């Protein structure tokens, strides 16, 4: 969730950037946050996925990743076309980060992990018989 909050700050600051140094600093922040957020999201998916269904879970993860790679740039381009500048279009990205924070706050990782383990144990128990 921290990475989404940092992305809100980055995108908001991006609207106000006027110097090359600020731009490079923001690029540096994105580079730092991006790798960690991708690694953590995949780890979270793995922890909360039953082993027998990990292909399904990661398949959905991959589809959502592709979907976001289309929708994000599309919304950005639409906002840039409406406002006539990419500067206000940067703020359209904030919407995605804020919308991502709400459901993420409700995720109970321990419960998800427990349910995944119970599912794994049920599958192992049924195959042992």
State pLDDT tens for residues 84-120. 999 999 999 999 999 999 999 999 999 999 999 999 8
Q: Does an H or E element contain 12, and which?
A: helix 2-16
State pTM to two decimals.
0.79
How many independent structural domains does the chain possess? 1
pLDDT value, residue 123: 81
- Please state the separation of Cα 14 from the chain's center in Å: 19
pLDDT at position 124 is 76
In the block, residue with structure tokens 């292909």: 55
- Which domain does 92 fall in, by range? 2-128
Helix axes 54-83, 86-105, angle to 10 degrees: 150
Q: What is the pLDDT of residues 44-91, one digit of tens each?
A: 999 999 998 999 999 999 999 999 999 999 999 999 999 999 999 999
**127 confidence band (pLDDT: 50, 70, 90):** low
């Amino acid at each position: 969730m921290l990475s989404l909050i940092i992305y809100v700050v980055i995108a908001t600051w991006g609207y106000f950037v006027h110097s090359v140094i600020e731009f490079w600093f923001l690029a540096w922040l994105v580079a730092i946050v991006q790798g960690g957020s991708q690694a953590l999201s995949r780890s979270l998916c793995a922890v909360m996925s039953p082993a027998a269904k990990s292909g399904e879970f990661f398949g959905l993860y991959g589809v959502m990743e592709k979907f976001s790679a289309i929708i994000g740039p599309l919304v950005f381009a639409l906002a840039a076309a409406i406002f006539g500048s990419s500067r206000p279009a940067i703020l359209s990205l904030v919407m995605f980060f804020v919308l991502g924070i709400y459901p993420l706050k409700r995720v109970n990782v321990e419960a998800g992990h427990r349910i995944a383990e119970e599912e794994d144990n049920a599958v192992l128990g049924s195959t042992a018989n």
